[in-house]
């Protein structure tokens, strides 16, 4: 990755398949996504479909995205949403593909998707007052061969500069299920505001909700 951070662009429709594939590969061993798709043989395909549906919905209804494509392949990406001020209704989610989940992932898969989604939303509402217009970070991922080289920090630092120039100040939030990413985000000024489990049984996972005040 030799292009400047400043040259990152929005996720255009033709890049969504590549972006969802990158996200599925990046989250293959993430506890939350193992909970969603526990069978290794089908996990990548199920996650890629599910993440693509979610990404299309979020981008259609106001998400602000950023990505670095190289020869048409997304190598790094993420997007910001406003879950409190611009929530996506259940009806909208259904129209966007929610009803297809049982056919793609089975009835138990549908239940796991609903449990995980509701759990993460609940953690956010429990830890940050809903009257605060937060910017919530989704699917911040980088291709594996390009990780641990400082790009994650540089990408987000530049995103902070863009947000500050656009809004002046903002409350940023995110959810993560990997302890090492908690350390990464703490180095960028985020703090843990809630740590709690989601789901039940052996696949239940710990979710960290984190927040950063951008002044």
Nearest C-alpha neighbor of 155 from the set 5, 22, 3, 39: 5
125 token code pair? 């509402």
| Residue ranges per structural domain of the chain | 5-214
User: How far, CA to CA in Å, does 209 sit from each of 55, 93, 114, 157, 181?
Assistant: 20, 23, 18, 19, 12
5-214 adopts what CATH topology?
A: Aminopeptidase (3.40.630)
- Band (4; pLDDT cuts 50, 70, 90): low
Please give the Cα distance from 74 to 70 (Å, whole number).
Answer: 6
Asked whether the beta carbons of 123 and 175 are under 8 A apart, the reply is: yes
Asked whether the predicted pLDDT for residue 117 surpasses 60, the reply is: yes
What are the distances in angstroms from CA 63 to CA 8, 54, 78, 134, 137?
A: 16, 11, 10, 12, 10
What residues does 81 pair with on adjacent strands?
136
Please state the φ and ψ torsions of residue 115, each to the nearest 5 degrees.
Answer: -65, -45
Do the Cβ atoms of 3 and 66 come closer than 8 Å?
no
Whole-number average pLDDT of the chain: 93
Nearest-angstrom CA–CA distance, 101 and 94: 10
Residues 6+ apart with CB under 8 A from 1: 68, 70, 75, 76, 146, 151
**pLDDT per residue over 51-69, tens digit each?**
999 999 999 999 999 999 9
pLDDT band of 6, cuts 50, 70, 90: low
The residues pairing with 87 across neighbouring beta strands, listed in sequence order, are: none
């Amino acid at each position: 990755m030799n292009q400047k951070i400043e040259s990152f662009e929005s996720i255009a429709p033709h890049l969504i398949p590549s972006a969802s594939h990158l996200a599925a590969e990046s989250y293959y061993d993430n506890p939350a996504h193992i909970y969603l798709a526990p069978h290794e043989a089908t996990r990548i395909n199920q996650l890629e479909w599910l993440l693509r549906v979610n990404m299309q919905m979020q981008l259609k209804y106001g998400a602000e995205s950023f990505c670095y494509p190289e020869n048409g392949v997304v190598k790094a990406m993420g997007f910001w949403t406003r879950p409190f001020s611009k929530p996506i209704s259940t009806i909208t989610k259904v129209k966007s593909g929610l009803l297809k989940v049982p056919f793609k992932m089975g009835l138990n898969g549908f239940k796991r998707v609903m449990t995980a989604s509701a759990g993460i939303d609940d953690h956010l509402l429990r830890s940050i007052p809903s009257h605060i217009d937060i910017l919530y970070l989704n699917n911040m991922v980088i291709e594996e061969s390009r990780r641990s080289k400082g790009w994650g920090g540089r990408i987000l630092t530049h995103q902070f500069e863009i947000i500050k120039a656009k809004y002046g100040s903002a409350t940023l939030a995110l959810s993560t299920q990997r302890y090492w990413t908690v350390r990464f985000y703490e180095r960028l000024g985020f703090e843990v505001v809630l740590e709690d489990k989601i789901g039940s049984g052996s696949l239940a996972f710990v979710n960290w909700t984190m927040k950063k005040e951008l002044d």
